[in-house]
Structure 1
Amino acid sequence: MSSQYKKFLRLLESWPVDTTKPGRNLGEYLRKQLKASLRAGNDSFDVAVSMDKQFQALERISNNVHFNKYSRLRQSTATGLNSEQCKIMISETSLNYFAEQSKGPFINFVKNKLQRKK
């Protein structure tokens, strides 16, 4: 378990932490999961094999293996936005802005109409 822990730590050191998405960050989640698995302290063979598979999968993601293997023809997404624009749209600041906008008069009017029909 100790050698696996060291491998995971090295991998997580290179894993980026996106500060624009607190509580919704994959790097942050992976660190919490590693701590939880260490607290459990299960040293069985099945757990070791499972953790090794998880490590290999995370390492492939971290090293962009599939991104590099399968090149993309376009740099946009299904929404038509590029990766930088997508990061901005799902940042905490943008989500808070959209939540505030959804509290506008039109949304309140629709909610009131729907509640009256019940």
Structure 2
Amino acid sequence: MAASRYRKFLRLIEEWPVDPSKRGRDLAAHLRKRVAKDFSKGESTKIDEKECDAKYDALKKIHTDFYRNKYPRMHDTSATGNTAEDCNRVMSTENIEEMNELNKSYWTRLKETMGSSKQ
């Protein structure tokens, strides 16, 4: 029965889009790695069927927006008043790298420029 569960997981992760703005932090990329790890022998992997089914059902509900549809929101903003697009923009890898660069101390930036000029 591991074969059918493996195929179900493969179909699910194929449907799940990878967000290119979140390199290394994307849920879809993490799920792909996790399925590859958990089913290391493919269809012949020994698994706990009950636990596997529970994980699949939970991921399927996230993917199909089960709870978002069951409990619709009155407003499309967060607690801060930002829209989903604003939150996605703020959480992009490029923005996080830019913020980390801005938060470096003067001495850290100076050391980095001095270190790069030695090369």
Whether TM-score is above 0.5 comes out as: yes
> How would you bin the TM-score normalised by the shorter chain?
0.7 to 0.9
C-alpha offsets along residues 72-111 of structure 1, whole Å, 9 cap, x if unaligned? 1111112221101100000011001101110254x99xxx
Q: In structure 1, list runs of 5 or more residues that go unmatched.
A: 109-118
Alignment RMSD, CA only?
A: 1.9
Query: Percent identity of the aligned residues?
Result: 34
Number of equivalenced pairs: 105
* Superposed counterparts of 1:47-86, under 5 Å: 47-86=48-87
Matching residue's letter, 2:46: N
Matching residue's letter, 1:49: K
Question: Which 4+ residue blocks in structure 1 deviate beyond 6 angstroms?
Answer: none
Q: In structure 2, list runs of 5 or more residues that go unmatched.
A: 110-119
C-alpha offsets along residues 13-36 of structure 1, whole Å, 9 cap, x if unaligned? 111111111111110111111111
* Superposed counterparts of 1:87-102, under 5 Å: 87-102=88-103
